[in-house]
């Protein structure tokens, strides 16, 4: 192959493939060796594209790879340059729309998870050029390299995104190429924890220095709040009555979507209350009323990803091989309460789930919902004892 002069492009002696090899300074900024393929025009094109990225960093027009790791998902996405009319450009436009702003935080998080799988393959592609075979290959790759749940969520996100893309005139609404995919949702989780298992993981988190995580875990166990509801708790959500402490907040999943949603009451045990108060007293700052209570070891509020990561780290030390998740705490409480013959209305209030009657009417006729929720707590104790007896037999 003829000689070409492309900065940082080399063909090692005895090799047929070309490589883009940044120097030590560039590597400190996050750039790494890139295999460009067989030496030739296509390889040169790849090398030139990486040179363009390096020049953009030098000119201050783009952040280095190392710097982008410190950005949130949204910030990193805003720095991505997409061709006009591409799926990525359409998604950026959609994120500026009213429907996007009205989505609950949990819903937006799921969109970002799905987009994480869509972007590498289709981000810079014109949606009108995507064929069913492309989607089938992509879906098969997700199943092979990730999981059924990731493939399901990514495909669900693709189908939801196709509609706004069509409204922008980028594609035809009824010509979604994913139509051949039977996107079956994965089976619901059934895993549960015992009280002893939960307590041991909380203690392990404390020993590992994850004090904010320990508080979230204790709160999740007592209140049966979901992980997102626990990590978004703020001082303004704290409450107290003659029988103890509790949290009062709208569930993130329903607060924007359900006009009849009421605030969930999450009661705390005495030991969880002491744990939280000790944690707050140890902080070097006073947390503002609307700011998240619980922080990771760097002092920043937990995100979905950092909470999952830290929980896995603690879980893997305490019980290697265990694959249960923090979200399973919520189900565990429901199993305990059901085993303790809980009143369905009390359990519904405890979990802040919708029931057959209007929630506004419930607030009218049951003004002291904390007392009702505590009846579910008592049922959990009865159920816990019954479950222990069954295991012993």
pLDDT beyond 90 at 28: no
- What confidence category does residue 263 fall into, taking pLDDT thresholds of 50, 70 and 90? confident
**Inter-residue contact 331 to 191 (CB < 8 Å):** yes
Q: Residue 104's pLDDT is what?
A: 84
Residue that wins the pLDDT comparison between 212 and 374: 212
Q: Give the pair of three-digit tokens for residue 347.
A: 């359990």
Residue that wins the pLDDT comparison between 256 and 368: 256
How many CA atoms lie within 13 Å of 289's alpha carbon, on the beta-carbon side?
Answer: 2
Q: Residue 32's pLDDT is what?
A: 86
The answer to pTM > 0.95 is no
Could you read off the pLDDT of 52-65 as tens digits, one per residue?
A: 989 988 887 777 77
**Which of 98-107, 187-196, 379-388 has the highest mean predicted lDDT (pLDDT)?**
98-107
DSSP for 286-335, please give it: PPPTTS-S-B-TTSSBP-HHHHHHHHHHHHHHHSTT----TTHHHHHHHH
CA 96 – CA 74 distance, rounded (Å): 12
- What confidence category does residue 257 fall into, taking pLDDT thresholds of 50, 70 and 90? low
238-241/244-249 β-pairing = antiparallel
Contacts of 371 by beta carbon, 8 Å cutoff, 6+ apart = 243
pLDDT beyond 80 at 200: yes
Contacts of 240 by beta carbon, 8 Å cutoff, 6+ apart = 246
| Block residue for tokens 């902080």 | 283
pLDDT beyond 60 at 196: yes
Residue that wins the pLDDT comparison between 129 and 30: 129
| Mean pLDDT within 250-277 | 80
DSSP for 335-352, please give it: HHHHHTT--HHHHHHHHT
| Mean pLDDT within 199-215 | 97
**Which of 45-49, 71-75, 251-255, 263-267 has the highest mean predicted lDDT (pLDDT)?**
45-49
pLDDT beyond 80 at 303: yes
Q: Indicate the DSSP class of residue 180.
A: G
Long-range contact set of residues 106-110: C-beta below 8 Å, sequence gap at least 24:
106/228, 106/252, 106/253, 109/228, 109/304, 110/153, 110/157
- What confidence category does residue 312 fall into, taking pLDDT thresholds of 50, 70 and 90? very high
Residue that wins the pLDDT comparison between 20 and 338: 20
pLDDT beyond 50 at 22: yes
pLDDT beyond 70 at 69: no
Give the SS3 label for residue 142. Answer: helix
Angle at Cα 229 formed by Cα 227 and Cα 231, nearest 5°?
70
CA 107 – CA 157 distance, rounded (Å): 10
pLDDT beyond 80 at 75: no
pLDDT beyond 80 at 221: yes
pLDDT above 90 covers a percentage of the chain that reads 53
- What confidence category does residue 342 fall into, taking pLDDT thresholds of 50, 70 and 90? low
CA 285 – CA 94 distance, rounded (Å): 38
Q: Residue 151's pLDDT is what?
A: 93
| Mean pLDDT within 71-79 | 76
Could you read off the pLDDT of 119-133 as tens digits, one per residue?
A: 989 999 999 999 999
Q: Give the pair of three-digit tokens for residue 254.
A: 């329903």
Residue that wins the pLDDT comparison between 380 and 21: 21
CA 22 – CA 296 distance, rounded (Å): 35
Give the SS3 label for residue 32. Answer: coil
Arithmetic mean of pLDDT over the chain = 85
pLDDT beyond 90 at 202: yes
Q: Which residues pair with 241 in a beta bridge?
A: 244
Q: Residue 255's pLDDT is what?
A: 61
Q: Residue 344's pLDDT is what?
A: 65
- What confidence category does residue 367 fall into, taking pLDDT thresholds of 50, 70 and 90? very low
Distances (CA, A) of 182 to 153, 155, 174, 223: 13, 10, 17, 37
Could you read off the pLDDT of 98-113 as tens digits, one per residue?
A: 999 999 888 898 999 9
Q: Is the dihedral of CA 138, 143, 147, 152 positive or negative?
A: positive
| Mean pLDDT within 157-180 | 96
Q: Residue 60's pLDDT is what?
A: 76
Q: Residue 378's pLDDT is what?
A: 75
Q: Residue 345's pLDDT is what?
A: 61
CA 366 – CA 370 distance, rounded (Å): 10
Residue that wins the pLDDT comparison between 319 and 64: 319
Could you give all domains of the chain from N- to C-terminal order, each with its CATH number? 9-67 (no CATH), 73-180 (1.10.150.130), 195-392 (1.10.443.10)
């Amino acid at each position: 192959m003829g000689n070409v002069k492309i900065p940082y492009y080399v063909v090692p002696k005895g090799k047929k493939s070309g490589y883009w090899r940044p120097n030590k300074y560039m590597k400190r900024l996050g750039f790494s060796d890139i295999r460009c393929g067989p030496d030739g025009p296509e390889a040169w094109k790849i090398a030139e594209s990486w040179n363009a990225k390096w020049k953009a960093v030098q000119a201050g027009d783009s952040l280095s790879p190392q710097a982008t790791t410190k950005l949130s998902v949204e910030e990193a996405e805003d720095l991505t340059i997409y061709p006009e009319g591409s799926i990525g450009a359409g998604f950026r436009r959609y994120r500026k729309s009213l429907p996007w702003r009205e989505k609950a935080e949990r819903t937006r998080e799921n969109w970002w998870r799905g987009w994480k799988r869509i972007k590498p393959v289709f981000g810079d592609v014109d949606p009108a050029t995507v064929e069913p075979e492309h989607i089938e290959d992509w879906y098969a790759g997700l199943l092979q390299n990730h999981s059924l749940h990731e493939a399901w969520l990514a495909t669900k996100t693709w189908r939801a995104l196709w509609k706004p893309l069509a409204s922008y005139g980028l594609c035809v609404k009824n010509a979604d190429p994913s139509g051949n995919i039977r996107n079956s949702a994965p089976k619901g989780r059934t895993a549960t924890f015992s009280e002893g298992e939960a307590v041991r993981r909380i203690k392990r988190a404390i020993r590992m220095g994850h004090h904010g995580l320990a508080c979230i875990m204790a709160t999740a166990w007592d209140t049966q709040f979901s992980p997102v509801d626990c990590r978004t708790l703020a001082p303004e959500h704290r409450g107290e009555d003659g029988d103890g402490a509790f949290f009062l907040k709208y569930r993130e999943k329903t607060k924007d979507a359900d006009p009849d949603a009421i605030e969930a009451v999450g009661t705390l045990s005495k030991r969880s209350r002491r744990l939280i108060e000790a944690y707050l007293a140890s902080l070097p700052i006073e947390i503002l009323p609307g700011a998240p209570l619980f922080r990771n070891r760097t002092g920043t509020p937990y995100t979905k990803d950092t909470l999952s990561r830290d929980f896995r780290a603690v879980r893997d030390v305490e019980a290697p091989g265990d694959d249960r998740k923090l979200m399973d705490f919520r189900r565990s409480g429901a199993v305990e309460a059901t085993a303790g013959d809980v009143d369905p209305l009390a359990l519904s209030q405890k979990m802040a789930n919708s029931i057959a009657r209007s929630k506004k009417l419930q607030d009218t006729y049951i003004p002291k919902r904390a007392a009702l929720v505590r009846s579910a707590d008592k049922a959990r104790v009865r159920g816990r004892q019954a479950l222990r007896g069954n295991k012993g037999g």
